[in-house]
Structure 1
Amino acid sequence: MPRSVHVHPDYRIDVATALERNGFLTQGDLAAHLEIALCTVSNFCRGVNVSIAKFEAICEALTLDKKQIIQPKSVQSSVDTSTSSSTTTDPIEFFAYDRAWVGRSTLISNLSDRLQTSCRILFLTGMAGIGKTALAERLMIEFQERSILLRENFDSQEQAIDFGSVAARLLESVGRSLHQTIARICGNLPLGLFTICKTIAVCWRSIR
């Protein structure tokens, strides 16, 4: 997932209008209301990158659509036209992917085939900003009729973001506790590996 986003230049006037509409006379008033740095609010209003968490908080305070204001208005217009003429809508709320996203058809086909066979975990890695999140969300469309989308943000400033904590939250979201999952795995392992897993479980509880 991208670590930061910015307001598209097409929406800078809308941001200024939203400040006044929501009762914030100055950017400083908004910064004080959200208890964040004034420079962060200033960057947001000027279309400079800010962290996703701050971006979402400011959008909520200004009642702005966080997905809409990061795209050109021309793209939004074409998406609105496509949506109004379609009889179906995307049941999943995406952060990075939108209907205007195109390309990588061969890669999507290959990854979809792999996920439908023996692959159970797929890691998408690469430099920031190259479209990993959009690709992952686009892949989800291929499986939305028989799967559910579970999303955890490794950049969250309100929750633990180490891999173990994120994995535990994903397990809990599908009704599985960490203890139950470890017990199930260990039940099918040779004695030596079972001992190792018990040790891991104890270590996990101790750092929790």
Structure 2
Amino acid sequence: MNNFIEMHLVTHYRSLLFPQDYCGQSTFGFECNDGWTNLIEATLRLTRQQAELKALDVTVTQAKEKFGQLRIYHSGSDEIIGSVFEIAQLASGYICELCGNPGEVVSLEGWLVARCGNHSGRGHLDPIEAHIADEKYITSYIQAVDTILAFFGAGAVRWVQEKRTAFAGRRPSEMLATEEGCQTIFTFLKRLEHGVGV
């Protein structure tokens, strides 16, 4: 990950990335490309909110790409925060790790990677444009996942994995790859919550 992006994440989410008694200036060491930055930031922000609400001392011990998905290893969480990380892992498979555009997990030169159509060819290691934080996506993602967790609790991870008739057969985990998809999920669940027909 780009050093500037990593320093931004370390500065804003230090309490999650290092033990409380840590005073060093070292970087965290995110082991993935920049395309997942918005997803990582949304996940860390939601985790921090949940941890503060429940007075939990959550620490992220590693964040890396594995088999085309983002894996975030952690300690000190509860079932809901564990679900936050699992949902991020599922959503990451639909986000190009290089550029952040919608994509899918594909086999590329013997490796499983998350790529969009523009980055699934042999030139997949070509330089990518500098990452720009997408606050609208980050906010929409947090809102959608928070609502999913409130609505389904322990069943949230299972709900995002399965194809849903309400979304024309799409999986919610796929929809979480875009701001529009996040907003669609949020609106759908809020309408259900208030007993409005969909």
TM over 0.5: no
TM-score, normalized by length of structure 2?
0.25
Larger radius of gyration: 1
Structure (1/2) with the larger strand percentage: 2
